[in-house]
Structure 1
Amino acid sequence: MFSKLKIHEKPGVVEWAERCLVLPRETSPNAPGRFSTARMPYMREPLESIREEGLQHIYWCFGTQSGKTVSLLIAAAYFIDNDPAPMLWALPTEILARSFSRARLQPLISKNDVLARHKRRDPDAFTAAEMRLDSMELYMVGVSEPGNLSSRPIMRCVMDEEAKYKHENKEEAHPVDLIEERAKGFHRYQILHASTPSSEDSYFWQNFITTDMRKFYVPCPRCGEMMPLEFSRNTVQWERREDLEGDALADWVQDHTFYVCPHCEGRVEDWEKIGMMEKGEWRPTNPNASRARRGYHLNSLYSPFVTWGQTARKFIVAQNDLFRQVALHNFRNGWEALPFTQYEIKVGDDSVRGLRGVCRRGELPRHYYYMVVAYDPGQNQTHWVAQAIGRGGETWVVDWGTLLGISTTDATPGIGAHFESLEWGGVRPDFGLIDSGDWAQKVYDECY
């Protein structure tokens, strides 16, 4: 009789998960099967941290393909079987929340006996929006509906893709604050904040930098010095090929990239990464953080599913993208797990003159993507400039001039007639742009 009253110590998160859980393909497309941290040793400490008393906020600022979502699912599974309490899983929208529930969370619960045994027989108790288990409730909500965040008390919460939360209703507090208010009624409340970052001024990043901001340090296989893996021109390098460009260059880079140790400048190959991570350790970088707030930062270079070359290729493609700034923004957020920053600078005449190339007026550069002519109409004159645009956003001024008017008449050629006459060595412009300004009707008529 007294054996039932004996206090049983809860198992470690990783030990329990590796012993009890099998990841279905729906839950883990990259690595289905029995759960293991062998290929992702960096997951161990973040997972064990969910058991630490007094740790109220845990931030997982991870890049893509690094195991962030699987880690969250393992944490939820551990709570269901070992430490049940009311729990909320929040995503940016209701549609995303229910889709994630059906596609990834529910298969994990239903296909593992250790979790499925906690399901009630009532089918209405296990829906995409609400899973009422034998000893806890798990709610899936979208933060776009503030009412979902303030209607029930919770002890734990997963704020998934938190950087994408929008504060649309200014009459309400920010969604993050609304959720935290629901949890503060519990003495042992805990919130897992997980996301790739967006911008420096986002709610997620500003809160993340108040944590101890831990980085995963690994030893260099050449000199043994510990270092965090970081993407830069000095650390991620590739063998040069001056005769290649575009997709051919990107393909070459993917197969000929290596990592360079910042201590000894030794070359580190992809196949050495797993061994380095096995000897790695998390180190805090912000000594002023509260003991109740912990943060883990991990970029995609650590992922066992991503090579040095794939990271470098993604960067090369982003640099050459037609929408370069958008592509680099995505690389910075998703692959480096860092916020994207836009800088505004003033450029003087001397700076512009310093960028002059060797092409003469009317001469086209060797490699360009498209030709555009821009017109700026004024009261008495219309200035124009023809530019060649490169795939990486480079600009060459090919030609320029001034017209006396906007409209084409029998006596005076305007913008339309001028555009039709332009040609450089048989090359016509691909399209034209007009700043209509105060002359909108005239410009529209001329375009027509």
Structure 2
Amino acid sequence: MGRRSRGLRFRKYPVTPYQKQALASLQPPEDLTVSEWAERYRILDAKTSGSPGPWRNDKTPYLVGIMDELCNYETEEVIFVKPTQVGGTETILNSIGRIIQQDPSPTMVVYPSDTLGESIKKNRIDPMLNASPELKRRYHESDSSVSELQFDGMYLVIVGSNSPSQLASRPIRNLFLDEVDKYPGASKKESDPISLATERTKTFRNRKIFKTSTPTLKTGHIWKAMEAADQIRHYFVPCPHCGEYIELVWQQVKFPNEDGMTYADRAEFAVYECQNCHGIITDRHKPEMLRHGEWRTVEEKTQFPRKVAFWINTLYSPFVRFSEMVKAFLTSKDDPDLFQNFTNSWLAEPWEDTKLKTNADLVLERQTTLPEFIVPKWARLLTAGIDVQETSIYYTIRAWGNYLTSQNIAHGQVYNFAEIERIMNLQYAREESGEPLVVSLALVDSGDNTDLVYDFCASNADWALPSKGSSHPMDTHFRISKVNKTDSRAYGMQLAIIDTGKYKDMIAGRMRKRNGTGSWMVYRGCDREYAEQVTAEHKVNVKSGQRTIQAWVLKTSHADNHLLDCEVYAMCAADMLGARTFHLEELEMPPRAEAQKEPAPTPEENWIGQNDGWLSEG
């Protein structure tokens, strides 16, 4: 048999490119992690990168552990809390590239807005696809749209967090959420964007969710996600002097503080002092330190983590020198607006220092000795604020005295207007004298159930007025408009337009005053639910177009602030009734000076007065 086989001849047939491609498609995908895939196949485009060419993990070695965690079968969710410009977006792009080539499955990327999503698709994703032959070969560009890209065996959806219908429209296995702290909160009709998108992944047992953002507040999405993680990791690097692994922290950055030195001069001498050996670390040491760095667990809640969080600050960035960070600190430290940006974007920490910080404990400290429903003896009138929701109505009643001294005497939640009408028409007894007082004016929010509110106010026009918050800051605290709904019973009725931010400033400022003249107080035994609601917001910096402004926002996305709105309406009602000038009415008017009596005319003056025409008679 062996001899005969040696005489056999085998005919060779040429293999066409089509057959090669078909055979290649039958091969199993390479077993590569995200970082390995990126180094082998990712090409950085000159348009989007300062270092075009093949991706190199040693440029940003701290990203390796984050990217590869997405390949850990046990990990379901990865959270990356970061400063700006350290590679969060590149982590997403590399992960998408590996999915397209090695593990095709439905994938979604959510950006803060549709506009940003379109921009990143055009300027980051398309160049990545065109620069990598393996990705370009799998991309069905002719079948794709701006928001949905088609590939072999999968689709990639690119949406903005401001498009709820797109977030909840299809099943997704891989979900990437970029800059989540810029997402809008939940609305009355829809859940928050993160919840909506996450719902799409429930049908996949091997789902992967990646969240990343620069933090804003402790109550922001990314910081809350990190606090809820099963495991939190920080990046540790070896000191070039003692070899001990240390975490780079802002407190160890040192720079001179000599008289006569400018901020720029001080920044140029910035160095890092090792917290272990006190050795001086400069920018030239950083690349080698980063290459030998490693992620270490600093907090662990379970032995079987499913949610893993990573955190670093700008000190780890290979693209930023210590001096740049110090200069940013020095030029921002005296300006709260700028310093919030430094805290968020450089330190990757949440901003807490607000000019008007409120909390529930502070409200409960404002309790007086008077129980609920009793009017203080100093009170001049009662006003009320009413917030109408879809299923219930919230109200508050507040007593007002000189210098805007005030005290809440009642608040609550009812389920129909008939009950509100009964409460507003009750008589409330004054302290000591028992003199009855009723609500002089109640402002009713007409933002929801507008027709119903208008009808209610028309029926109770002697004490109720419709109101609504202004969509823009106003020059005044309120202005009076007219109801212009011609088919409403309230047509032509006064409508209060309120700058709610100004009244929230006033409430927060007076809340900090100790009980007494000019303070904002509550009755004895006030409940914590009320205290939580009236402090459900805080004032922080927010982006408005190209500007940064201070605005009142919810501390948590699902907090109730209905009673805060009620207090705003009650204060505006007092303002409309002249409460700011009550104290002026009691000032004693100076006694009127008695008119001086003119001296009696002389006989000559009498004669002239009686004969003032004597010259003309001649």
TM-score by length of 2: 0.52
Report the alpha carbon displacement of residue 253 of structure 1 after superposing the two structures with TM: 2.6
CA deviations 1:277-308 (Å, max 9, x no partner) are: 11111011111055110111011111111011
Work out which of the residue numbers 150, 155, 158 in structure 2 matches 1:132: 150
Q: Decide which structure has the larger Cα Rg and report it.
A: 2
Matched, 1:192 2:210: yes
- Is the contact made by 1:87 and 1:139 (CA closer than 8 Å) also made in structure 2? yes
CA shift in 2, pair 1:100/1:66, >3 Å: same
CA shift in 2, pair 1:134/1:345, >3 Å: closer
Amino acid corresponding to residue 46 of structure 2 in structure 1:
R
Matched, 1:163 2:174: no
Unaligned 5+ segments in structure 2 are 1-21, 360-402, 405-574, 582-618
Work out which of the residue numbers 252, 255, 261 in structure 1 matches 2:265: 252
Identify which range, 92-101 or 4-13, moves more after superposition: 4-13
Residue of structure 2 in register with 1:22 after alignment: 43
Identity of aligned residues (%): 28
Residue of structure 1 in register with 2:299 after alignment: 286
Q: How many residues in Structure 1 have an aligned counterpart in Structure 2?
A: 341
Amino acid corresponding to residue 341 of structure 2 in structure 1:
N
Matched, 1:44 2:64: yes
CA shift in 2, pair 1:3/1:73, >3 Å: closer
Amino acid corresponding to residue 20 of structure 1 in structure 2:
Y
Matched, 1:182 2:234: no
Matched, 1:298 2:317: no
SS of aligned partner of 2:79: strand
Report the alpha carbon displacement of residue 139 of structure 1 after superposing the two structures with TM: 0.7
Greater relative contact order structure (CA < 8 Å, 6+ sep): 1
Aligned pairs for 1:4-403 within 5 A: 7=28, 9-28=30-49, 30-120=50-140, 122=142, 125-211=143-229, 212-232=231-251, 235-244=252-261, 249-289=262-302, 291-320=305-334, 324-342=335-353, 344=357
- Is the contact made by 2:30 and 2:102 (CA closer than 8 Å) also made in structure 1? no
After the TM superposition, which segments of 4 or more aligned residues of structure 1 sit over 3 Å from their partners?
1-9, 343-346, 437-441
Q: Distance between the aligned counterparts of 1:106 and 1:54, measured in 2?
A: 31
Report the alpha carbon displacement of residue 70 of structure 1 after superposing the two structures with TM: 1.2
Residue of structure 2 in register with 1:433 after alignment: none
CA shift in 2, pair 1:6/1:146, >3 Å: closer
- Is the contact made by 2:82 and 2:348 (CA closer than 8 Å) also made in structure 1? yes
What is the alpha-carbon root mean square deviation over aligned residues?
2.4
CA deviations 1:322-377 (Å, max 9, x no partner) are: xx11111111111111111126499xxxxxxxxxxxxxxxxxxxxxxxxxxxxxxx
Report the alpha carbon displacement of residue 2 of structure 1 after superposing the two structures with TM: 11
CA shift in 2, pair 1:345/1:20, >3 Å: closer
SS of aligned partner of 2:288: helix
CA shift in 2, pair 1:307/1:88, >3 Å: same
SS of aligned partner of 1:159: strand
Q: Distance between the aligned counterparts of 2:115 and 2:52, measured in 1?
A: 25
Identify which range, 293-302 or 164-173, moves more after superposition: 164-173
- Is the contact made by 1:217 and 1:282 (CA closer than 8 Å) also made in structure 2? yes
Amino acid corresponding to residue 319 of structure 2 in structure 1:
F
- Is the contact made by 1:215 and 1:284 (CA closer than 8 Å) also made in structure 2? yes
Q: Distance between the aligned counterparts of 1:118 and 1:8, measured in 2?
A: 13
- Is the contact made by 1:99 and 1:128 (CA closer than 8 Å) also made in structure 2? no
- Is the contact made by 1:27 and 1:108 (CA closer than 8 Å) also made in structure 2? no
CA deviations 1:371-397 (Å, max 9, x no partner) are: xxxxxxx99xxxxxxxxxxxxxxxxxx
CA shift in 2, pair 1:144/1:264, >3 Å: same
- Is the contact made by 1:57 and 1:294 (CA closer than 8 Å) also made in structure 2? yes
Amino acid corresponding to residue 24 of structure 1 in structure 2:
D
Amino acid corresponding to residue 330 of structure 2 in structure 1:
I
- Is the contact made by 2:29 and 2:103 (CA closer than 8 Å) also made in structure 1? no
CA shift in 2, pair 1:17/1:162, >3 Å: same
TM-score by length of 1: 0.72
